[in-house]
């Protein structure tokens, strides 16, 4: 990882971080994943080779990862992934249950796209081991917390969609 220059106008944003180099390295696509695996290992677990590995890397820092020093986290991708997941599930339900109205489809959508279901999918893909979490979250078992895994799953769904389109997200 090489240091990148920080302009004086952006210096105040980076002053809260331990160092700009640390922040830059966190999202550097050449960096191994948090648990030391190469991108190819998680690509294999997800069943897709990322053309833009930085998208996957951006899905991995949990909100606490900066320990109050940096605002690098997966929240934006979590936001998008939540919507992509809902669309994929709604589309499937619409196709698979042609006689059902909204009142019959909505509970199914809620059951399939809930936190527990997302956390199970994250565990199947071994996402917990790849997450970037704070020391305190690590010590508290954060890599296996349902909420953190669900958010990571949705962030990875967004990364899949941004990298390979809606089909890649559907295939996950």
Q: Looking at the annotation, which residues are catalytic?
A: 82, 154
Sign, CA dihedral 36-38-39-42, equals negative
Hunting for tokens 């180099």 — which residue is that?
Answer: 21
Q: Are 154 and 85 in contact (CB under 8 A)?
A: yes
Using DSSP, state whether 109 is helix, strand or coil: helix
Long-range residue pairs from 116-121, CB within 8 A, at least 24 positions apart, any chain: 116/146, 116/150, 118/85, 118/149, 118/150, 118/151, 118/153, 118/154, 119/146, 119/147, 119/149, 119/150, 119/153, 121/153, 121/172
């Amino acid at each position: 990882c090489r240091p990148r220059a920080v302009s004086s106008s952006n210096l105040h944003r980076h002053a809260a971080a331990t160092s700009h180099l640390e922040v830059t390295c966190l999202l550097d696509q050449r960096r191994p994943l948090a648990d030391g695996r190469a991108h190819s290992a998680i690509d294999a677990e997800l069943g897709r080779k990322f053309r833009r590995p930085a998208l996957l890397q951006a899905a991995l820092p949990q909100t606490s990862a900066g320990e109050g020093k940096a605002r690098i986290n997966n929240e934006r991708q979590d936001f998008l992934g939540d919507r992509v997941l809902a669309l994929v599930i709604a589309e499937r339900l619409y196709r698979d249950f042609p006689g059902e109205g909204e009142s019959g489809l909505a509970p199914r959508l809620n059951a399939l796209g809930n936190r527990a279901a997302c956390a199970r999918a994250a565990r199947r893909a071994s996402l917990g081991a790849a997450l970037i979490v704070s020391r305190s979250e690590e010590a508290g078992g954060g890599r296996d917390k349902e909420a953190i895994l669900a958010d990571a799953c949705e962030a990875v769904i967004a990364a899949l969609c941004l990298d390979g389109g809606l089909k890649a997200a559907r295939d996950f």
